Amino acid sequence: MNIYPAIDLKAGQCVRLLQGDYDQVTIYQNDPILVAQEFAAQGATHLHVVDLDGAKQGQSENFSIIEKIAHESPLQIQTGGGIRTKQQVENILQKGIQRVVIGSIAVLQPKEVKSWLREFTGEKIVLALDVRINDDNIPIAALHGWQTPSEKTLWELLDDYQDSGLKHVLCTDILCDGMLQGPNIDLYQQCVKRYPTLSFQASGGVSSLHDLQALVKIPVAGVIIGKALYENKFTLKEALTC
């Protein structure tokens, strides 16, 4: 299981949102490049970077910072937020980014995203499918930086992508995100059981080494860790060892 420490960018700063709420922002660091370098110094090999402004506005807003992180750290970076076109995907990959994270457009324009998967390969694209669990325990996809619900379930979306070469899926339970109350283990167990050929990344709610051990047992391929690191619930070195 790969550990992806997370950097969420808003107005050039390293922040965290609570349950995707842009009005509930905590600023942790004014220099995200320094944060990335510190992660690398602690042993990280991977990094997850989200352009929150881009996710909300529908166009990349902080890419110059992300590009600088790629050039000034040894980390393998996956990044997303506001990516809407094939040209954006191509430009990002040409800048030394390992994977492009595709969010809302994967739900709204699956035909287009499938063509990107076939052209750039499933190794270069991650589908970020953010969900809210409804009263029937069914994960429903959310759009536009988690601001808008869709009518599609997670299972419908993943079924639709089975013939596209899809490999990597980052799934976030929005209600867990930023809460430090543990990830939705049941959700990831269902994901792995239903789609054993996909590599799932868990995101949202990780608060302890016990959470990481539970995710390893499922097993998921990766886990995104943000707030727990910034608020010193455990160290990155402990997470990597775990």
Work out the angle at residue 15's Cα, subtended by the Cα atoms of residues 63 and 56, and round it to the nearest 5 degrees. Answer: 55
Is residue 65 scored above 60 in pLDDT? yes
CB 105 within 8 A of CB 144: no
- The model's pLDDT over 191-219, given as tens digits with 9 standing for 90+, comes to 999 999 999 999 999 999 999 999 999 99
Q: How far apart are CA 89 and CA 234, in angstroms?
A: 34
> Higher model confidence: residue 22 or residue 58?
22
- CATH architecture entry for 2-241: Alpha-Beta Barrel (3.20)
Domain ranges of the chain: 2-241
Backbone angles phi, psi at 145, to 5 degrees: 65, 30
Lookup: tokens for 239: 């997470």
- The model's pLDDT over 113-136, given as tens digits with 9 standing for 90+, comes to 999 999 999 999 999 999 999 989
- Positions marked catalytic: 8, 130
Q: How far apart are CA 242 and CA 239, in angstroms?
A: 5
Q: Rg for the chain (alpha carbons), in Å?
A: 16
Element spanning 120, H or E: helix 110-120
Please, how many CA atoms are within 13 Å of residue 235, restricted to the half-sphere of its CB?
8
